[in-house]
Amino acid sequence: MPMPRIFAFAALAIALAGCAAQQSALEDEIEPWEQARVVGEAESCVSLTRIRDTIVRDDRTIDFEMVGGETYRNTLPAPCPGLRAERSFAYETSLSRLCSTDIITVLRQPISAGANGPRCGLGAFVPVELPNG
């Protein structure tokens, strides 16, 4: 016996409400840093003397907080294993700038000689504005 039309609509409404609740739960899981807004053109280098702090967001994302309040996001071309877990990296450059052609090395904790992690290439430096910041 076919389901009466009213029950079919009620079942559809319940299903849609469940989808909306799932979508809302997914939106709640988005970290504030993932909602950064691009506020300028990408740059290939940043001045080392202007870097105030670095924040490792995940295995591909590093925010460079600059003197003067700007933030440059660097999204690595590929995931760098262990970067998020260690939240620490080093770099070497003979210039006074850090560039998209440079390589970072994940520093394993505790830091000990010869125990460094993977080496990974940087991407472009994109100026971003973080929510509430």
In the chain, where the domains are located:
1-30, 36-129
Question: What is the overall mean pLDDT for the chain?
Answer: 83
> pLDDT value at position 106?
95
What pLDDT is stored for residue 21 in this prediction?
A: 47
Residue 89: pLDDT over 80: yes
In sequence order, the 6+-apart residues with CB closer than 8 A to the CB of 127 are: 38, 39, 40, 41, 43, 70, 71, 72, 73
- Give pLDDT tens digits for 43-53: 999 999 999 99
Mean pLDDT computed over 117-131: 95
Per-residue pLDDT band for 9 (boundaries 50, 70, 90) equals: very low
CB of 118 closer than 8 Å to CB of 80:
yes
Structure-model confidence comparison of residues 94 and 73, the more confident one:
73
- Stated pTM of the model: 0.73
